[in-house]
C-alpha cells in the first residue's frame, strides 16, 4: 500500500504534469522524429516526470510484516534467608535454565534477601511484558510489599511454582510482631505491643526483656509456653525521658533445641521530640475552616494547636502570653466586630482572608498583601500552581491534586503583593488564570507571612478524603505553610530532609534546601554532610563525609549501603549548618516465619492457569512448557519511496533509454 499526506487529486496532478511536459517536448514545435518514435520518447519522459513529481509528495509504502520469536520464560529463584534455612537450600533453576535456552528466551531473576521477600514485586515487574510463562522456585513465604494474589489476577501468563521448603512446624520460638509509636513527646509514655510465638515448646518458658541502647533493662516478663502452637501479645509502656532518637532492643530467651535464635531479637527506634511549636488559630467566629486547619496541623507531631475565638481574647476569657504563641493563624481577622488590636504578638502569621475580613483594616496593617475591594461580591476560584515559587517545593502530584479541589470563596477585588511575597497558587476563575494570588508567602521585615485569599478550606480536606481516602495532600500543604512560617533566623536557611529511620535494604536518600540572605532558594554553594555512627555504648565515631549533588532547585544525597545502627549527621554549606539523626533498622521479617507457605503457590497457580511442582518434577514441567507456541508479532513496516533503490534505477533506465533512442534516431 502506498500512502501520502496529500489528497488523491495531488497524485493525479503529478500524472497531468508528466503528460503536459511530454506533449510540450515532443508534439509542440518542429517534428524531429517520426510519429512512432515521438510516442515512445514522450511515454518515457512522461513516466520520469510523473515519478519525480510524485516523489515530491513524500510517498510511503506500507506492508504487513510477521516476525516469529521464541517464547519468553522467566525463571525466578528465591534466595531469601528462609530458603537458606531449609533442606532445599541447594536447589537452583540453573539446570532448568540450560535445558530451556535452546527453545526459549530465558530471563533469570533471583529475589529475596536476609531482610524480606516480596513475591508481589516479582510478579508486578513483568506485568504487561511479552512473557509467555514464569517458573518460580520458592517456599512461598511473602512478608513484604503488595500481596501476590492481588497482582496475579492482572497477569497475562501462567505462573508455575517449584514448591520448596518445609511446611511442617519445627521447634522454635520467635518475636513475630512489634508495634509502637515511632514518635513520642518528651515526658509522655508510649505503648508497645510485642507478638511472641512458639512451636513445639509446650512446658518450656523464656524471659522477655526490653533494653535501651546502654543495655539497661526497662521491662521484663516470664513467658510460659502453654501449648505447642503458642501465640501471645505482650503489652507494656515505656517512658520518653530524654529527647532524641533512641534505640530499644527486645530479647526473648533461648530454649534448647530451637531451630533459629536470629528471630529471638528485635530492634526498634523511637524519636522523642523535646518540644512542639505552639500554633494558635485566632478565629473571628466558629467556622468549618478552623476545624480543618486544626486537624491538618495536629497531624504533624511537631505542632501543638489551640483555637481561640477573638471575642474571648478581647474580653479576657482566653489569656495568652508571648510564650503561648509561636505561630498565629488569623481566620477572617481583622473583622468589623474584632479589629485585632487585643492580639499584639510579634510572631509569624498565616492569614485566611475570607468574607468576614474587614479589608480596610487588613490593608492598614501592611502585612504584605493589600486588596482593593470593588464590591461586596465574591468569586468562586480554584487553584493554579506557580512552579516558579522559590520558597519551598510542592510536588507535582500534590500541585495537580490541589488544582483539582473545589473552589474557595474569595472577596471580589484586586490584590497587590509586597516585595518579598511570592504566589504559590494563583486564582483560576473558570478556565482563566487571573494571576491574582490565592496562596502566597514571603518574608517581610524579618517576619514570615503566609496568605490564603479565600475561605472554604474545609472543602479541600473533605475532597481530599473522598478522592484518596486520606487527608495527606491537604495536611501536607497546611504543614508546609505553617512550617515555612515557623522557620526563623539564619540557622534555618539550610534545611535537611531526612527520614527518622530507613530499612537496611532501603537506599538512604537525603534532600537539602538552601536559602540565600533574601530567603530565595539557591543551590550554587557547595553543601556536604558529615556522618557519624553510634556504637553499642552510644559513643559516635566518624562514618565519612559526603557531598550533596545539585538537583532541581535543591540538593540530593544518596548514601552508600549503611549497616544497622544509629547515625548522626551535620550538614554545612554557605556558612550555615544543621544537625540531625536517623536510624538504619533491620526489619528481620525473614526470621519471623520459617515454615513454607505452599498454599500461596497453589493460589497463584489457580489464578494464572499455572501448576505447582516439586523438586524432581522438572521433566513434567518441561513438557508443560513445551506446549507453549512461538510468538508471532504482526506489525506494519513503513518505508519512504525516495529510499527505495529500484525507484532511482527505474528513473535512470528510462532516461538512458530515451537518450539512446534520441541519439541513434538522428538527435544529437
CATH label of the domain that carries residue 321: 3.40.50
Domain boundary among 462, 486, 510: 486
Do the beta carbons of residue 657 and residue 663 sit within 8 Å? Answer: no
Do the beta carbons of residue 486 and residue 277 sit within 8 Å? Answer: yes
The set of long-range contacts for 611-618, using a CB threshold of 8 Å and a minimum separation of 24, is: 611/158, 611/160, 611/161, 612/160, 612/161, 612/163, 613/160, 613/161, 613/162, 613/163, 614/162, 614/163, 615/88, 615/91, 615/162, 615/164, 617/162, 618/95, 618/96, 618/99
Q: Model-level pTM greater than 0.75? A: no
Domain boundary among 273, 291, 322: 273
Element (H or E) spanning 84, and its range? Answer: helix 81-84
Which residues have CB under 8 Å from 656's CB, separation 6+?
none
The answer to the question of residue 119 being in a domain is yes
Alpha-carbon distance of 249 to 91, in angstroms, equals: 35
Per-residue confidence (pLDDT) for residue 590, from 0 to 100 = 64
The answer to the question of residue 109 being in a domain is yes
Q: Cell numbers of 409, please?
A: 470563596
Element (H or E) spanning 626, and its range? Answer: helix 618-626
Alpha-carbon distance of 330 to 328, in angstroms, equals: 6
Indicate if 652 and 537 belong to the same structural domain: no
Q: Cell numbers of 646, please?
A: 529500484
Alpha-carbon distance of 426 to 431, in angstroms, equals: 12
Instruction: Classify residue 624 as exposed, middle or buried by CB count within 10 Å of its CB (0-12, 13-18, 19+).
Output: middle
Per-residue confidence (pLDDT) for residue 440, from 0 to 100 = 92
Query: How do strand 540-547 and strand 244-252 relate by DSSP bridges?
Result: unpaired
Domain boundary among 216, 239, 273: 273
Label residues 423-440 b or e (16+ Cβ within 10 Å = b).
bbbbbbeeeeebebbbbb
Alpha-carbon distance of 423 to 404, in angstroms, equals: 18
Indicate if 18 and 50 belong to the same structural domain: yes
Indicate if 161 and 194 belong to the same structural domain: no
| Nearest by Cα to 588 from 194, 86, 117 | 117
Per-residue confidence (pLDDT) for residue 365, from 0 to 100 = 84
Do the beta carbons of residue 609 and residue 47 sit within 8 Å? Answer: no
| Nearest by Cα to 304 from 336, 275, 278, 268 | 278
Indicate if 527 and 604 belong to the same structural domain: no
Domain with 141 in it = 71-168+595-629
**Residue 384, SS3?**
strand
Alpha-carbon distance of 528 to 549, in angstroms, equals: 9
Per-residue confidence (pLDDT) for residue 645, from 0 to 100 = 85
Cis peptide leading into 311, omega within 30 of 0?
Answer: no
Do the beta carbons of residue 301 and residue 273 sit within 8 Å? Answer: yes
Do the beta carbons of residue 548 and residue 527 sit within 8 Å? Answer: yes
Indicate if 299 and 402 belong to the same structural domain: yes
Label residues 457-469 b or e (16+ Cβ within 10 Å = b).
bbbbbbbbeeeee
The answer to the question of residue 293 being in a domain is yes
The answer to the question of residue 590 being in a domain is no
Indicate if 372 and 478 belong to the same structural domain: yes
Indicate if 266 and 350 belong to the same structural domain: no
What is the phi-psi region of residue 323: left when phi exceeds 0, alpha when psi lies from -120 to 50, beta otherwise? alpha
Handedness of CA 613, 617, 623, 625 (dihedral sign): positive
Per-residue confidence (pLDDT) for residue 489, from 0 to 100 = 43
Indicate if 180 and 231 belong to the same structural domain: yes
DSSP state of 490: G
Element (H or E) spanning 607, and its range? Answer: helix 598-608
The answer to the question of residue 198 being in a domain is yes
The answer to the question of residue 557 being in a domain is yes
The set of long-range contacts for 467-471, using a CB threshold of 8 Å and a minimum separation of 24, is: 467/401, 467/404, 468/401, 471/295, 471/296, 471/299
Q: Mean pLDDT of successive 10-residue segments in the chain (668 residues)?
A: 80 89 82 81 89 86 78 89 76 86 88 82 84 89 82 89 80 84 76 89 91 89 90 90 85 86 84 78 92 91 86 81 83 86 72 89 86 79 89 86 92 84 90 89 82 92 90 91 73 77 80 81 91 83 92 90 88 88 76 77 90 88 85 75 84 88 68
Query: How do strand 408-417 and strand 369-385 relate by DSSP bridges?
Result: antiparallel
Query: How do strand 494-497 and strand 447-453 relate by DSSP bridges?
Result: unpaired
Indicate if 325 and 460 belong to the same structural domain: yes
Do the beta carbons of residue 260 and residue 243 sit within 8 Å? Answer: no
DSSP codes joined into one string, 416-480: EEPTTEEEEEEEEETTEEEEEEEEEEEEETTEEEEEEESB-HHHHHHHHHHHHSS-HHHHHHHHH
Q: Cell numbers of 642, please?
A: 525516495
Indicate if 206 and 337 belong to the same structural domain: no
Query: If you count DSSP H runs as helices and E runs as strands, how many of each does the chain have, helices first?
Result: 15, 35
Indicate if 162 and 177 belong to the same structural domain: no
Per-residue confidence (pLDDT) for residue 223, from 0 to 100 = 92
The answer to the question of residue 403 being in a domain is yes
Per-residue confidence (pLDDT) for residue 404, from 0 to 100 = 93
Alpha-carbon distance of 270 to 213, in angstroms, equals: 12
Q: How far is CA 51 from the centre of its chain?
A: 55
Only one residue has cell 535543591, namely 554
Per-residue confidence (pLDDT) for residue 134, from 0 to 100 = 92
Indicate if 382 and 304 belong to the same structural domain: yes
Q: Cell numbers of 483, please?
A: 512550617
Number of domains present in the structure of the chain: 5
Alpha-carbon distance of 475 to 299, in angstroms, equals: 7
Alpha-carbon distance of 233 to 215, in angstroms, equals: 23
Per-residue confidence (pLDDT) for residue 668, from 0 to 100 = 38
CATH label of the domain that carries residue 621: 3.40.50.410
Which residues have CB under 8 Å from 16's CB, separation 6+?
none
> 522 φ, ψ to 5°?
-145, 150
CATH label of the domain that carries residue 191: 2.60.40.10
288-298 vs 457-468: helix crossing angle, rounded to 10: 60
Amino acid at each position: 500500500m502506498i500512502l501520502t499526506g496529500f489528497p488523491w487529486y495531488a497524485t493525479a496532478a503529478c500524472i497531468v504534469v508528466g503528460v503536459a511536459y511530454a506533449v510540450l517536448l515532443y508534439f509542440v514545435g518542429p517534428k524531429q522524429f517520426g510519429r512512432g518514435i515521438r510516442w515512445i520518447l514522450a511515454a518515457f519522459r512522461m513516466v520520469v516526470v510523473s515519478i519525480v513529481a510524485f516523489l515530491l509528495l513524500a510517498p510511503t509504502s506500507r506492508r504487513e510484516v510477521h516476525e516469529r520469536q521464541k517464547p519468553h520464560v522467566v525463571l525466578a529463584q528465591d534466595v531469601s534467608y528462609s530458603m537458606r534455612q531449609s533442606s532445599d537450600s541447594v536447589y537452583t533453576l540453573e539446570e532448568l535454565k540450560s535445558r530451556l535456552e535452546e527453545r526459549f528466551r530465558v530471563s533469570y531473576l533471583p529475589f529475596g534477601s536476609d531482610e524480606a521477600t516480596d513475591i508481589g514485586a516479582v510478579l508486578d515487574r513483568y506485568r504487561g511484558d511479552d512473557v509467555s510463562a514464569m517458573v518460580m522456585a520458592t517456599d512461598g513465604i511473602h512478608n513484604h510489599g503488595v500481596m501476590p494474589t492481588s497482582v496475579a489476577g492482572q497477569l497475562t501468563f501462567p505462573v508455575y511454582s517449584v514448591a520448596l521448603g518445609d511446611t511442617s512446624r519445627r521447634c522454635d520460638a520467635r518475636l513475630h510482631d512489634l508495634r509502637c509509636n515511632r514518635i513520642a513527646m518528651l515526658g509522655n509514655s508510649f505503648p508497645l505491643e510485642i507478638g511472641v510465638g512458639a512451636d513445639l515448646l509446650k512446658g518450656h518458658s523464656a524471659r522477655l526483656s526490653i533494653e535501651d541502647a546502654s543495655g539497661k533493662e526497662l521491662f521484663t516478663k516470664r513467658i510460659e509456653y502453654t501449648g505447642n502452637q503458642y501465640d501471645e501479645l505482650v503489652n507494656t509502656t515505656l517512658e520518653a525521658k530524654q529527647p532524641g532518637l533512641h534505640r530499644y532492643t527486645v530479647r526473648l530467651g533461648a530454649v534448647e533445641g530451637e531451630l533459629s535464635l536470629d528471630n529471638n531479637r528485635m530492634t526498634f527506634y523511637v524519636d522523642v521530640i523535646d518540644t512542639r511549636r505552639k500554633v494558635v488559630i485566632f478565629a473571628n467566629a466558629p467556622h468549618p475552616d478552623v476545624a480543618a486547619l486544626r486537624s491538618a496541623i495536629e497531624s504533624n507531631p511537631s505542632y501543638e494547636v489551640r483555637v481561640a475565638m477573638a471575642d474571648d481574647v478581647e474580653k479576657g476569657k482566653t489569656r495568652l502570653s508571648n510564650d503561648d504563641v509561636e505561630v498565629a493563624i488569623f481566620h477572617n481577622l481583622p473583622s468589623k466586630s474584632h479589629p485585632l488590636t487585643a492580639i499584639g504578638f510579634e510572631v509569624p502569621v498565616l492569614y485566611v482572608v475570607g468574607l468576614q475580613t474587614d479589608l480596610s483594616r487588613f490593608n492598614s496593617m501592611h502585612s504584605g498583601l493589600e486588596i482593593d475591594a470593588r464590591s461586596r461580591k465574591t468569586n468562586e476560584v480554584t487553584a493554579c500552581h506557580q512552579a516558579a515559587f522559590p520558597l519551598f517545593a510542592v510536588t507535582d502530584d500534590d500541585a495537580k491534586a490541589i488544582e483539582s479541589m473545589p473552589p474557595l470563596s474569595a472577596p471580589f477585588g484586586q490584590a497587590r503583593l509586597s516585595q518579598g511575597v511570592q504566589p504559590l497558587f494563583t486564582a483560576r476563575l473558570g478556565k482563566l488564570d487571573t494571576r491574582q494570588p490565592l496562596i502566597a508567602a514571603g518574608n517581610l521585615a524579618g517576619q514570615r507571612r503566609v496568605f490564603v485569599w479565600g475561605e472554604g478550606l474545609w472543602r479541600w480536606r473533605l475532597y481530599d478524603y473522598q478522592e484518596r481516602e486520606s487527608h495527606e495532600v491537604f495536611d501536607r500543604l497546611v504543614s508546609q505553610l505553617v512550617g515555612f512560617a515557623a522557620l526563623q533566623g539564619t540557622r534555618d536557611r539550610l534545611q535537611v530532609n531526612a527520614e527518622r529511620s530507613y530499612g537496611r535494604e532501603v537506599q538512604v536518600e537525603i534532600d537539602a534546601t538552601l536559602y540565600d540572605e533574601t530567603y530565595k532558594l539557591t543551590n550554587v554553594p557547595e553543601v556536604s554532610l558529615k556522618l557519624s555512627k553510634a556504637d553499642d555504648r552510644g559513643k559516635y565515631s566518624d562514618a565519612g563525609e559526603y557531598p550533596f549533588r545539585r538537583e532541581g532547585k535543591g540538593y540530593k544525597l544518596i548514601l552508600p549501603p549503611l549497616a544497622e545502627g544509629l547515625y548522626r549527621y551535620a550538614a554545612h554549606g554557605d556558612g550555615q549548618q544543621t544537625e540531625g539523626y536517623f536510624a538504619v533498622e533491620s526489619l528481620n521479617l525473614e526470621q519471623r516465619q520459617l515454615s513454607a507457605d505452599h498454599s500461596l503457590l497453589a493460589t497463584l497457580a489457580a489464578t494464572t492457569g499455572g501448576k505447582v511442582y516439586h523438586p524432581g518434577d522438572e521433566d513434567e514441567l518441561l513438557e508443560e512448557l513445551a506446549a507453549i507456541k512461538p510468538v508471532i508479532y504482526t506489525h506494519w513496516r513503513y518505508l519512504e519511496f525516495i529510499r527505495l533503490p529500484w525507484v532511482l534505477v527505474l528513473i535512470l533506465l528510462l532516461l538512458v533509454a530515451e537518450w539512446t533512442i534520441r541519439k541513434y534516431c538522428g538527435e544529437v
